[in-house]
Amino acid sequence: VISQAMLTSNVKRDVIRCSTGKFLVLLMIGGLAYLMLAQRNHVPSVSNGVANGTSNKEGESTLFGGGTRLRNLWRRAPRLPPRLTPDEKATLINSIHDVGNVHVVLKWKERQESVKKAFIHAWSGYKNYAMGYDELMPLSQRGTDGLGGLGATIVDALDTAIIMGADEVVSEAGSWIEAHLSEKISHKGQVNLFETTIRVLGGLLSAYHLSGGEQEMNLTRKGPKPVVYLQTAKVLADCLLSAFTSSPTSIPFSDVVLRDCSAHPAPDGLSSTSEVSTLQLEFNYLSNPKYSQEAMKVMEHLKTLPKVEGLVPIYISPHSGEFNGENIRLGSRGDSYYEYLLKVWLQQGARQDGNLTYLYNMYQEAMKGVRNLLVRKSIPNGLVFVGELPSGRRGAFSPKMDHLVCFLPGTLALGATKGLTKGKAMEENLLTFDDMENLKLAEDLAKTCFEMYSVTSTGLAPEIAYFHVEDYSERGLDGGNKSSEYVNDIIIKHADRHSLLRPETVESLFVLYRITEDPKYREWGWQIFEAFEKHTKVDSGGYTCLDDVTVIPPRTRDKMETFFLGETLKYLYLLFADNSVIPLNEFVFNTEAHPIPVKRAT
């Protein structure tokens, strides 16, 4: 304004005549020239800052760069950007941090792809030598039917292929299901209610959802229309219902004959507690209440039975509706009872005031019972493990832990945060004292489960381990890895040294990584995967079980379990994936790793 006035008024002539005025004009012109020459370009350059890896003294990435250039002299100075809020600033810093650690992201992406390649290798062996059979015998290159002859590997592997984006496998598996499965259901003989529900029914329902059956999610455009999976699932479920309706109590019979949809108890007349209580996620997901009502009668009945600090015996009679015996354990025949107490409640929206709150209360009571009665530490190095009470509370404690028990760390962590990250749950003040106790126990048990792998010569865990405690030890039964810190803590008997390529440990590593965000769980998972690749991969296709994990080379068993594709490789893939892939607060995994969507609140 002053300059304009000087040029357009008599002030101009008056100032120029005055020597003082001349000096001031020169001073002003010199000052303006200095400002223009000293001006730097303050436009942020994110790409330059990241590419150069520059940072300021506070450890944040430098965003400012550039210098004086002749063409910039006459530019208008840029407007300053608005001041960032603290949340926006954190987001920016985090995004730059991610770019700065791009090699870490790429490392896990590459490892994820390695798991996908392993899945395709396993599938290729099955497709080439056993298509339509339940399981592959990879060494003799043939198929076998050990689960009723419904092509269990195909259905178990389908949603894994969908999640991995293995489109060719999705197309092959889906086409087989559309062409053959309904016919097989109507003609086959005896199947186990539990195994058929978790593997085949669960696999069909998960594939239905993930392929867009409810128009909320569609991870693939390959294979048949989603309704094919749902219709086949209902055909199967209608037949399986006979196990419930044929029983004189709320406890279903264990076996179903598919060709006439009849049911009968096991030869000893008993059902496994875990088997009768591990059907509800699948039957609840079917829209018709005739399915969920029959399945939920089991849980309502179990609620009324006497327990030992929430813990239950592993056998129950469908004739009397009462528990049989006093054997309490979280391994075979007991494990998924505790898992489904939590997951069925989560599936229905985890409401604290809902009709299924009793399930969560039963879960909480049981976990207190686990901590009080079953948790011990080994000697000399204090590994935390979960033992058994073969004769009930009044009998002796057994320091025996099945690999199956390694589902528990993941379940404990999921029960503590309900699928949220630990950080978010703590930030929102959602964790109780019991939640924190359970989360600590989960991390301790996960370490023990991992050490069951690293203590052996092959790096793979045995089916069963015993732990050295004050009143129990055996010499000469270690895992073979003499360099392990825990070689004297873990005892592996000769009859228990086999590996079935089980998923429970990597399942818990996946859940714990999602919840704690601790990268050690990914590293442990990668070590286990490398051991699978080194010792169980069959060149012609597929992976084989082992007879003895404590010696190298290990003796092999000629079988690839369906859950290696349906669970083990799926959990490893998700362990290395982004947390947004099948998020834990939107899905619950059935006990065969088939993701079922959580019911949303209305």
Catalytic residues: 195, 335, 463, 504
For residues 464, 465, 469 and 475, what is the CA-based torsion angle, rounded to 10 degrees? Answer: 120
User: How many residues are listed for the chain in this entry?
Assistant: 602
Angle in degrees, CA 243, 246, 251, rounded to 5: 60
Q: DSSP label at 424? A: H
Which class for 389: exposed (0-12), middle (13-18), buried (19 or more C-beta within 10 A)? buried
- Tokens 């003082």 sit on residue: 20
Cβ atoms of 219 and 581 closer than 8 Å: no
Cis peptide before 380 (omega within 30 of 0): yes
153 is in an annotated binding site: no
Report the alpha-carbon distance of residue 154 to residue 173 in Å, rounded. 6
Phi, psi of 546 (to 5 degrees): -120, 150
**Residue 21 has which token pair?**
């005025």
- Type of residue numbered 285: Y
Residue 197, Cα to own-chain centre: how many angstroms? 20
Contacts of residue 88, defined as CB under 8 A and 6 or more positions apart, other chains included, come to none
Angle between helix axes 520-535 and 102-130 (nearest 10 degrees) is: 30
Structure tokens at 339: 């898992």
Cβ count near 86 (within 10 Å) = 7
User: What residues form the annotated binding site?
Assistant: 591
User: What residues form the annotated binding site for Ca(2+)?
Assistant: 591
